[in-house]
Amino acid sequence: MSVRIRFDGEEIAGRDGQTIAGVLLGAGRRSWRLAGGAERGVFCGIGVCQDCVVTVNGIENVRACQRTALEGDVVEREAR
């Protein structure tokens, strides 16, 4: 069972039920956001630090570690 999302214009497959962070990590991606010009990814893993935020289907600031990936989700990087 797998789930596919789009990230950076690429299709990425993960296991059904994984969070967006889980799918990205499973595909070997460890960072997906810029903060003060440097790459960031997951840090606290439980929704507290906000380091992992991405834009999902046009909605900004979604915590990748908290949101379950759904088939066809379009995930975009954020920068601040």
Partner 1 sequence: MTRRVAILGAGPAGLAAAEAALSAGADVVVLDEGERIGGQYWRHHEQLTDRRMQHQHARFARLGRVAEAATVHREASVWRVDTAHGIRVHALVGPADGSDREALTIDADALVIATGAHDRALPVPGWTLPGVITAGAAQALAKRDGAIVGERTVVAGSGPFLLPVADSIALAGGSVAEVVEAAGVAAIARGWGRAPWQLAGVAGKAGELAQYAGGLLRRRTPFRFGQAVTRIHGQGHVEAVTVQHVDAQWRPVAGTERTVTCDSVALGHGFTPRLEAAIQAGCDLSPERFVVVDDRQATSVASVFAAGEVTGIGGADTALAEGAVAGFAAAGGSLDDRRISGAVRARKRMHAFATRLATHAIGPGWTGWLDEDTIICRCESVTRARLSEYAAASSRAMRLATRAGLGACQGRTCGRTVETLIAADVDFDRRPVLSSIRIGELARLHHAEHKEQE
Instruction: Check residue 50 and give left, alpha or beta (phi > 0: left; psi -120 to 50: alpha).
Output: left
User: With CB under 6 A as the contact rule, which of the stretches 10-18, 32-40, 47-55, 71-79 interacts with ligand FES?
Assistant: 47-55
Which lies closer to ligand FES via its Cβ, residue 4 or residue 66?
66
Give the SS3 label for residue 56. Answer: strand
Q: How far is the CB of 44 from partner 1 (least distance, A)?
A: 5
Residues β-bridged to residue 40: 33
Tell the smallest beta-carbon distance from residue 44 to ligand FES (Å): 3
CB 71 within 8 A of CB 3: yes
Q: Nearer to ligand FES by C-beta: 3 or 32? A: 32
